[in-house]
A and B are shown apart, each in its own frame.
Chain A
Amino acid sequence: MTSLPITLTINGHRHKLEVDPRVTLLDLLRERLDLTGTKKGCDRGQCGACTVLVDGKRINSCLALAVSQDGANVLTIEGVAHGEELHPVQAAFIAHDGFQCGFCTPGQIMSTLGLIAEGQAGDDPERIREGLSGNICRCAAYGGIVEAIVEAQEKLATADRRTAA
């Protein structure tokens, strides 16, 4: 199969690419664009390590053909911080010892950004746990992650109020 042309906006940068239709968004990010923060865990949509935001919504990039995402706006872990300044979610993960090894953490953070954008969980730990259940890891940092998400949401809400005022 010949390659097909697509355009993707990734972390604010526009990319014109030719892709084999078999290439997933995950493999495109890692193998072609050297954006290796997004991790290939199970590669079957079960572990969440490959979570990215596409047009603002979290998805498993391992189960998305890159060619099918033509025209999309993609946010990966590399696009989350503002320069040297960490995003409040990243800072809260550090503060609450929510970091697992580097494999699961990027997906956990991207999934958290998706969860907050969805606005369904609030600060209810039970809803946060359910909302993050697509990110699986055995490193036992879950307790810290829940605390981090509660704190990050408070900080983001405070920042929103300041912006609005």
Chain B
Amino acid sequence: MRDFDYIRPATIPDAIAAAAEPGSAYLAGGTNLLDLMKGGITSPERIVDITRLPELNRIERLDDGGLRIGALVRNADLAHDAAFAKAYPAVAEALLSGASAQLRNAATVGGNLLQRTRCSYFHDTASACNKREPGAGCDALGGENRLHAVLGWSDACIATHPSDFCVPLVALDAVVEIEGKKGRRHVTLAEFHLLPGETPQRENALEPGDLIVAVRLPAEAASFAANARYLKVRERTSYAFAVVSAAAALVVDGGKIRAARLALGGVAAKPWRARSAEAVLLGADANAATFASAADAALADASPSGDNAFKIELARRIVVRALISALAGTPERMPALPASPFSNIPGARHDA
């Protein structure tokens, strides 16, 4: 690991001033940053440890019915907060389907939004990667790319965003609260992550020094509590990143869909909100035919970026499955294997 200066500011303005200097990186849980530093993928000259900043580790109910989650709240603490899991079950399920218990105990809400891609060419410093080294080219194009993006990719980058947490968050209209040199601002999560275009090194809306201080869920997000699921297909049943995932949330009344939210993970450089599918669902009968039409709409613009055409069909099926699961109702207790499709098949246990 390359040498770096380490500072631990006591106030948010001090942290922002320090991190605005070129070569700086914020450190919170460290689960992704240290991994990248050990691999030589990133080599910050200055680490700004924000773990002691005050008041960023709270979960607050807002007067308008919304929720404000401090950026330093640990993933495990949020997922196991009983009131949180009851109001936003798909978010808790997504959190618990990600990583391992050890990592969830360290990783933070703010850090989760800033996870770097798991593209193997990004992680291999001997490979060309436009994200790691702008202008270098992309060895993932034409390489081992069966897990790469099928939506929103460009000739410069076909990497996917790895977060589970962000998928139901973007479906529920989460907002990122950011403090920067010019003060505080709010950016919707849908606009926070950027598609690669010609500048895949630019992954989000943060400017130098900008600090994520909280993630907000609007009051309406809790209205989906009774019918919300997250489903994740991975190459083993636990502790793996999503090949494809989906968050589905419905409000159903008399067999009609009164409100619908849908987002996909593992398919693009950002958590993918499927608004065209939501338009199909809204007002329609809650049945398999509607869900199939919604899945077609969600993947209408998809195209393979390599050997990954299978992900398009897989994503369609996961969307249908997530919607069927959401319609069936949120489980009273978190499944033993959160977000696993195997949890939903009676008699089909993962160890059978």
Contact = CB atoms under 8 A, between A and B. Distances in A.
Interface string B139-177: 000000000000000000000000000000000000000
Interface string B328-348: 000000001110000000000
Contacts of A120: 80
A130 interface: yes
Nearest to B100: A134
Tell me the interface secondary structure of chain A in the complex. Answer: mixed
Interface stretch (A30-38, A83-91, A121-129, A157-165): A121-129
A131 B350 contact: no
A111 interface: yes
A71 B236 CA distance: 38
Contacts of A134: 99-103, 239
Contact of B102 (A21, A51, A68, A127): A51
Contacts of A114: 101-102, 105
A63 interface: yes
A126 B351 CA distance: 8
B102 to A, nearest CB: 5
A96 interface: no
Contacts of A45: 31, 34-35, 102-103
B31 A58 contact: no
Interface string B1-20: 10111101000000000000
A24 B34 contact: yes
Interface string A111-141: 1001100101000101101110111100000
A8 interface: no
Interface residues of A, number: 35
Contact of A60 (B76, B106, B350): B106
Nearest to B97: A130
Interface in B46-62: 47, 49, 51
Best-buried of B35, B51, B349 by chain A (most CB within 10 Å): B35
A64 B103 CA distance: 10
Contacts of A65: 6, 27, 30, 34, 47, 49
B38 interface: yes
Contact of A68 (B1, B39, B51, B105): B51
Closest 3 CB pairs of A and B: A134-B100, A21-B6, A126-B336
Given A111-B101, A130-B337, A134-B103, 16 more contacts: A1-B3, A4-B6, A21-B5, A22-B3, A44-B35, A58-B105, A60-B102, A60-B103, A63-B31, A63-B34, A63-B103, A65-B47, A68-B30, A126-B336, A129-B351, A133-B101
Interface of B: 1, 3-6, 8, 27, 30-31, 34-35, 38-39, 47, 49, 51, 76, 80, 99-103, 105-106, 238-239, 336-338, 349-351
